[in-house]
């Protein structure tokens, strides 16, 4: 019988990740590749020493209280850990890690895709061509918002936010940001710091969300904060759906206060919001910010690096609890 730790990988990760995991661990993977229910998580905790979950697996306080003592580490295949009750896991003496840094470029790429697509009416134009309804052209046809030279506001200037700022500077955008702390001049690269969200919002032609979802940031973008944006502004969200009050967003779109939005995450996932889908000036994607081959390998390897460190008696690089 093998003495190798048993690891449950809850979803189908990249081929390279699974190959490496099987080389070093006894691995359990469900080929169905569906989110694990609370009952499944609790049942599986009796059979494994470690879990590599995604944000689709919810470790609520109630679930954590019922986990078997055999589980010693949860090495998340994600940066965000809003699906984990960290206080409950700490009480249970279960180590928790995440995968920061490695998905910054991919997520910022999607954020800028959404920004450009929302600004330049990508959904409306694509629909027109695909449906065979493109029958004329004039100077007034499909006129969208300019991106170059405009003001880009970033909420959350961590790794992804900093890459987004770099991409914005490539379009000669004036970068503004709100963050828990002001960055050093070397990190800011000329970006303008706003101590409060209310100070940032009036200075945004485009606003891009890159902060974590917490009790403090839930529905950070709501009727009150949207009203502080200039008329015609565009909202981009590649962070977490919980950051945006979708009813308020719809009101702002329908009133014309927001000219467009680009969204990669939603309050309800999977599925999104059918009410948002009715508007062609809302460019939507199914939470694929980190979905590149390179990034999926990097995320999987980072999770395995944390497991390797833990089971060799070292401190995992990305330990949160």
Which residues participate in catalysis according to the annotation?
240, 269, 287
Mapped to the 3 state alphabet, what secondary structure does 243-312 carry?
A: HECHHHHHHHHHHCCEEEEEECCCCCCCCCCHHHHCCCCEEECCCCCCCCHHHHHHHHHHHHHHHHHHHC
| Pairing state between β 206-209 and 192-194 | unpaired
Whether the link from the prior residue into 270 is cis, omega within 30° of 0, is: yes
Distance in angstroms (rounded) separating the CA atoms of residues 170 and 28:
44
**Which residues have C-beta within 8 Å of that of residue 320, sequence separation ≥ 6?**
81, 86, 96, 97, 98
Show the tokens assigned to 45: 């905790």
Distance in angstroms (rounded) separating the CA atoms of residues 178 and 73:
34
């Amino acid at each position: 019988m093998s003495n190798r730790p048993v690891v449950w990988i809850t979803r189908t990760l990249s081929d390279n990740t699974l190959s490496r995991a099987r080389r070093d661990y006894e691995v359990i993977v469900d080929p169905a590749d569906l989110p694990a229910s609370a009952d499944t998580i609790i049942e599986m905790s009796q059979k494994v020493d470690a879990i590599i979950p995604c944000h689709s697996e919810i470790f609520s306080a109630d679930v954590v209280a019922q986990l078997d003592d055999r589980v010693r580490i949860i090495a998340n295949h994600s940066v965000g850990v809003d699906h984990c009750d960290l206080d409950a896991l700490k009480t249970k003496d279960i180590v928790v890690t995440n995968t920061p840094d490695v998905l910054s470029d991919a997520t910022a790429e999607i954020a800028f895709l959404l920004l450009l697509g929302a600004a330049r009416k990508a959904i409306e134009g694509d629909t027109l061509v695909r449906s065979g309804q493109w029958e004329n052209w004039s100077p007034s046809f499909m006129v969208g918002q300019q991106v170059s030279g405009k003001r880009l506001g970033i909420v959350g200037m961590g790794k992804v936010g900093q890459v987004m700022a770099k991409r914005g500077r490539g379009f000669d955008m004036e970068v503004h940001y709100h963050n828990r702390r002001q960055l050093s001049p070397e990190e800011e690269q000329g970006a303008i710091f706003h101590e409060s969200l209310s100070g940032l919002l009036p200075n945004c032609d485009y606003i891009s969300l890159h902060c974590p979802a917490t009790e403090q940031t839930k529905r950070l973008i709501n009727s009150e904060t949207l009203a502080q944006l200039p008329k015609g502004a565009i909202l981009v969200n590649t962070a977490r759906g919980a950051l945006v009050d979708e009813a308020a967003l719809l009101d702002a779109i329908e009133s014309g206060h927001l000219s467009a939005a680009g969204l990669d995450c939603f309050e309800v996932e999977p599925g999104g919001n059918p009410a948002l889908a009715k508007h062609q000036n809302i460019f939507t994607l199914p939470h694929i910010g980190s979905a590149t081959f390179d990034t999926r390998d990097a995320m999987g390897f980072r999770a395995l690096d944390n497991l390797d460190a833990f089971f060799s008696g070292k401190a995992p690089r990305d330990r949160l609890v």
